[in-house]
């Protein structure tokens, strides 16, 4: 099994007592509630203190936001008010972690460039829709990717605008079959970064429920959550 490989016992148990907020909503095609409940159930097994919230209004609640260790967001597209955006950005820059996957974090609030600056990237297209492609692990020494080998899958291959300041953990190469001018272009799939005093983790895989059953994908997500929940 990949899960837990390369971790000490302390690292495996490091979510116990962590206060984690899961926020979901947006485009229903990504089944945000399904992902929210799946990750919530896993976090409860890790003895974390979990709270679920539908929609972004909770970001206005400064009392809740400042008392968190981590926010996991799964909202594709959608809108966020200036006050909600400020509440989220202030929380992360102040030391709360942020984690998510696919459009739930990398394609939220398309008009909010400050949000994109925080996350480190923005989805722009998935040429060909569901395509067979390979994910190459960039850093096999990092605790998030340790013990995971390159793997292939058939799902959306995200083409993204990215911040050069991100630390790339995995990437994918575009074949050019659907858009010849991007043949050979390499785009990050998994990354981590800092934003102020907060940690940000992102994995672009996660279009459908079946992708979370792929051991490598779920391991990357859960390890990224563990990492983002820790304080810098």
Q: What is the pLDDT of residues 115-127, one digit of tens each?
A: 999 999 999 999 9
**How is the chain split into domains, by residue range?**
13-228
Please give the backbone phi and psi of residue 48, each rounded to the nearest 5 degrees, phi first.
Answer: -80, 160
Q: What is the pLDDT of residues 136-184, one digit of tens each?
A: 999 889 999 999 999 999 999 999 999 999 999 999 999 999 999 999 9
pLDDT of 187 > 60? The answer is yes
Mean pLDDT of 212-224: 97
pLDDT of 132 > 90? The answer is yes
Which pLDDT belongs to residue 117?
98
- Which residues, other chains included, contact 120 with Cβ-Cβ below 8 Å and sequence gap of 6+? 162, 163, 165, 166, 191, 193, 200, 202
Report the DSSP beta bridge partners of residue 173.
Answer: 186
Task: For residue 136, give Cα distances in angstroms to 19, 65, 166.
Answer: 32, 35, 16
- Per DSSP (E only), the strands in the chain are 19-26, 49-54, 70-76, 97-101, 121-125, 130-137, 151-156, 159-162, 167-173, 186-195, 198-203
User: Does domain 13-228 fall into CATH 3.40.50.2030?
Assistant: no
Mean pLDDT of 19-47: 96
Token pair for residue 157?
């291959």
Which pLDDT belongs to residue 99?
98
- Cα separation, 32 vs 14, whole angstroms: 26
Q: What is the pLDDT of residues 49-93, one digit of tens each?
A: 999 999 999 999 999 998 999 999 999 999 999 999 999 999 999
Mean pLDDT of 99-116: 98
Which pLDDT belongs to residue 4?
42
Which pLDDT belongs to residue 10?
52
Which pLDDT belongs to residue 139?
84
pLDDT of 100 > 50? The answer is yes
Task: For residue 71, give Cα distances in angstroms to 28, 65, 194.
Answer: 20, 9, 14
Q: What is the pLDDT of residues 188-205, one digit of tens each?
A: 999 999 999 999 999 999
């Amino acid at each position: 099994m990949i899960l837990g490989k390369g971790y000490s016992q302390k690292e495996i148990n490091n979510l116990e007592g962590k206060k984690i907020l899961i926020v979901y909503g947006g485009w229903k095609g990504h089944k945000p509630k399904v992902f929210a409940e799946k990750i919530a159930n896993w976090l409860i097994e890790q003895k974390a203190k979990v709270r679920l919230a539908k929609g972004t209004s909770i970001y206005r609640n400064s009392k809740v936001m400042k008392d968190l260790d981590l926010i996991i967001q799964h909202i594709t597209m959608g809108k966020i008010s200036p006050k909600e955006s400020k509440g989220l950005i202030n929380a992360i820059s102040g030391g709360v972690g942020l984690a998510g996957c696919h459009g739930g974090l990398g394609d939220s609030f398309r008009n909010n460039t400050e949000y994109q600056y925080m996350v480190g990237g923005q989805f722009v297209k998935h040429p060909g829709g569901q395509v067979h492609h390979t994910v190459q692990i960039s850093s096999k020494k990092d605790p998030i990717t340790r013990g995971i080998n390159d793997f292939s899958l058939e799902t959306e291959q995200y083409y993204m605008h990215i911040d050069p300041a991100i630390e790339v953990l995995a990437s994918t190469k575009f074949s050019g079959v659907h858009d010849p001018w991007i043949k050979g272009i390499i785009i990050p799939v998994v990354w981590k970064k800092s934003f102020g005093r907060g940690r940000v983790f992102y994995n672009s895989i996660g279009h459908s429920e079946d992708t979370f059953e792929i051991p490598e994908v779920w391991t990357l997500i859960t390890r990224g959550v563990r990492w983002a929940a820790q304080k810098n």
